[in-house]
């Protein structure tokens, strides 16, 4: 039963006025389940504090996972991931510093340079028989042909070296793994 001796306060609003001040319907306000601060006759009165408390309580309940869903090691796992990330960043920076100090060469650059070197070597080998023939015109043809055949084999090996560099790198890494493992 409502208490008739309570004096209505100026900051109390009835349900209709409170719903209107919040910009919602009376039915929506009823669903919130806000407890009135007082009842005078049939009328229930609400203050802003009780509405805010109700909303905060309901909002925090929606955002908080149940205790059974919380991983007890979450803090440790987060710290571990931060440490791993920090270590990776430090390793990356150390690698960049070693490259900048010309102590370390990226694999892509090494393959590029060795491919260029192999092509250059093949080109030089191609000119040797002509240079020898110009310097020694009296050299017998059979010697020159033999010389040219050997140089052609070497030139082809040098030209093919560029294509085998990635395979050689894989072989090197495998050998390192066997030594350390």
What is this structure's pTM? 0.44
Determine the pLDDT at residue 4. Answer: 57
124 lies in some domain: yes
Counted domains in the chain:
2
Phi, psi angle pair for 46, to nearest 5°: -130, 150
How many whole angstroms separate alpha carbon 3 and alpha carbon 133? Answer: 125
Whether the pLDDT of residue 1 is over 50: the answer is no
How many whole angstroms separate alpha carbon 171 and alpha carbon 179? Answer: 12
Average pLDDT over residues 61-83: 75
Whether the pLDDT of residue 76 is over 80: the answer is yes
5 lies in some domain: no
- What domain range is 144 assigned to? 104-180
Whether the pLDDT of residue 47 is over 80: the answer is yes
Whether the pLDDT of residue 181 is over 70: the answer is no
Closest CA to 129 of 104, 106, 146: 146
Closest CA to 29 of 37, 20, 38: 20
109 and 168 share a domain? yes
């Amino acid at each position: 039963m409502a208490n008739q001796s309570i004096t209505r306060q100026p900051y109390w609003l009835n349900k209709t006025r409170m719903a209107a001040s919040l910009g919602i319907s009376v039915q929506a306000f009823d669903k919130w389940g806000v407890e009135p601060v007082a009842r005078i006759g049939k009328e229930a009165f609400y203050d802003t504090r009780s509405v805010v408390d109700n909303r905060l309580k309901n909002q925090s309940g929606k955002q908080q996972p149940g205790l059974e869903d919380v991983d007890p090691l979450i803090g440790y796992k987060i710290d571990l991931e931060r440490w791993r990330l920090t270590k990776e960043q430090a390793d990356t920076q150390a690698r960049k510093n070693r490259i900048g100090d010309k102590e370390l060469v990226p694999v892509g650059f090494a393959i590029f340079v060795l491919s260029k070197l192999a092509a250059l070597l093949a080109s030089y080998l191609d000119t040797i028989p002509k240079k020898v023939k110009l310097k020694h015109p009296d050299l017998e043809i059979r010697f020159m042909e033999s010389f040219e055949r050997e140089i052609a084999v070497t030139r082809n090996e040098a030209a093919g070296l560029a294509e085998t560099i990635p395979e050689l790198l894989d072989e090197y890494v495998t050998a390192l793994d066997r030594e350390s493992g």
